[in-house]
Amino acid sequence: MPTYSGSCFCGAVKYRLESAPMFVHCCHCKDCQCQTGSAFVLNAIMEADRITLLPGSRAPEPTTMRTDSGRPHDIYRCPDCKTAVWSDYGRRKVMLFVRVGTLDDPGALPPDVHIFTRSKLPWVALPEDGAPAFEVYYDMKTLWPAESLARREAVLGRGK
């Protein structure tokens, strides 16, 4: 099974993903642009119990952000350097969106999909032969691998 490790900028929060993610989003929405100070964010969708804080690591702390949908969104940040390491959309506690840029090798997890491209910055060019792109969102059942859909279903069942 593949594992991926990462950390915040200062190294106080160190973690390991115990498997490949279910799916990787490249989100171009205005909220993500503003919250990251960048053109988009790359999120690896993972079960929370497949993310291990490494020995000696500090626990990231939640910061609550507003969303257009009105659902809660907590961004977990290093308590020291404030790097965002993952998010919990909807406060489900069982499924997290790990910031791919905090991985030791961010190139290991390219996006599976580009979402909210209606607000993509005009100078960002998406590759013609790359991940599919959607103006808003997409039908998960048509894009996600069956194994990932099963993992998502199982983890959300635990979060009830």
Query: In this structure, what CATH number is given to the domain that contains residue 76?
Result: 3.90.1590.10
Residue-wise pLDDT tens digits, 48-103 = 999 999 999 999 999 998 877 778 899 999 999 999 999 998 889 999 999 999 99
pLDDT at residue 159 in the model: 53
Contacts (Cβ under 8 Å, ≥6 apart) of 120: 28, 39, 40, 114, 126
pLDDT at residue 1 in the model: 66
Cβ–Cβ < 8 Å for 81, 10: yes
The model carries a pTM of 0.92
DSSP 59: P
* Separation between Cα atoms, residue 70 and residue 54, nearest integer Å: 33
- Structural domain boundaries enclosing 111: 4-158
Q: How many domains is the chain built from?
A: 1
Residue-wise pLDDT tens digits, 1-44 = 677 999 999 999 999 999 999 999 999 999 889 889 999 999 99
